[in-house]
Amino acid sequence: MQNNFRAAGNCGGALNTILNDNEHKEGINVIDKREVQTMLIADDRDGCLRLKNIFGGEFATFETNGGDEFFTLMTAHKVDIALVNMKLPRGREFMLRLKSDDHFLEIPVLALVNTTEEGARALDNGASDFLIRPFNEVIARHRVYNALDKFSADRRLAKAKLVQQSLAAPDSDELDHLTGLCNREAFYKKSAALMHSDVERKYFIVYFDISCFKAINDLFHIETGNLILRTAANYFKRQIDPTVGICGRMEADHFVVCVPQDRINIGSLLEGLDGVIRDLDISHNILFYAGVYPVNNIELPVDQMCDRANMALKKIKGNYMNRYAYYDDGMREVMLQDQMIVRDMEAALRENQFAIFLQPVYNVKTDNIDSAEALIRWFHPINGMISPGKFIPVFERNGFIVKTDRFVWESVCRFIKEQREQTGQVIPISVNVSRLNFYNLDLLEFLLGLLEKYDLESWMLKLEITESAYTDNQHQLMSIIRAFREEGFPVLMDDFGSGYSSLNMLKNLPVDVLKVDMAFVRELEESERAYMILKFIMMLARELGMDVIVEGVETKKQLDYLVSLGADKIQGYYFSRPLPIPDFKQLLEAKRLEHERL
Main-chain dihedrals φ then ψ at residue 546, nearest 5 degrees: -105, 150
| pLDDT attached to residue 499 | 55
d(CA 143, CA 121): 17
Give the β-pairing of 461-466 and 491-496: parallel
| pLDDT attached to residue 394 | 87
Contacts of 460 (CB under 8 A, 6+ apart): 416, 426, 428, 429
Residues for the chain: how many in total?
598
Give the dihedral sign, CA 15/20/21/23.
negative
Q: Domains of the chain (ranges plus CATH)?
A: 21-160 (3.40.50.2300), 166-327 (3.30.70.270), 336-597 (3.20.20.450)
The radius of gyration of the chain's CA atoms, rounded to the nearest angstrom, is 30
Contacts of 487 (CB under 8 A, 6+ apart): 444, 447, 448, 458
Does residue 471 contact residue 499 with C-beta atoms inside 8 Å?
Answer: yes
| pLDDT attached to residue 504 | 64
From the list 326, 268, 265, 316, the residue with the least C-alpha distance to 294 is: 326
| pLDDT attached to residue 157 | 59
Contacts of 478 (CB under 8 A, 6+ apart): 508, 509, 510
| pLDDT attached to residue 105 | 67
| pLDDT attached to residue 8 | 29
Amino acid making up residue 395: F
d(CA 536, CA 573): 24
Q: Per residue in 416-440, pLDDT tens?
A: 999 999 999 899 999 999 988 887 8
Burial class of residue 575 (count of CB atoms within 10 Å of its CB; 0-12, 13-18, 19+): middle
Does residue 458 contact residue 427 with C-beta atoms inside 8 Å?
Answer: no
Q: Per residue in 546-588, pLDDT tens?
A: 899 999 899 898 898 888 888 899 999 999 999 999 999 999 9
d(CA 177, CA 185): 14
Does residue 361 contact residue 370 with C-beta atoms inside 8 Å?
Answer: yes
| pLDDT attached to residue 532 | 83
Tell me how far CA of residue 564 lies from CA of 202, 369, 513, in angstroms: 62, 20, 20
Main-chain dihedrals φ then ψ at residue 570, nearest 5 degrees: -125, 135
Low-confidence residues in the chain, pLDDT < 70: 1-35, 67-77, 96-105, 152-172, 214-215, 217-219, 283-284, 317-320, 468, 470-473, 497-504, 524-525, 598
DSSP string, 498-551: SSS-HHHHHHH---SEEEE-HHHHHHTTT-HHHHHHHHHHHHHHHHTT-EEEEE
DSSP string, 218-283: HHS-HHHHHHHHHHHHHHHHHHS-TTT-EEEEEETTEEEEEEEGGG--HHHHHHHHHHHHHTT--S
Q: Per residue in 97-139, pLDDT tens?
A: 666 665 566 788 899 999 988 888 888 777 888 999 999 998 9
| pLDDT attached to residue 69 | 67
Q: Is-cis flag, bond preceding 388, omega within 30?
A: no
Exposure class string for 267-292: b at 16+ Cβ within 10 A, else e: eebbeebeeebeeeebeeebbbbbbb
From the list 199, 202, 175, 204, the residue with the least C-alpha distance to 187 is: 175
Does residue 13 contact residue 102 with C-beta atoms inside 8 Å?
Answer: no
| pLDDT attached to residue 557 | 87
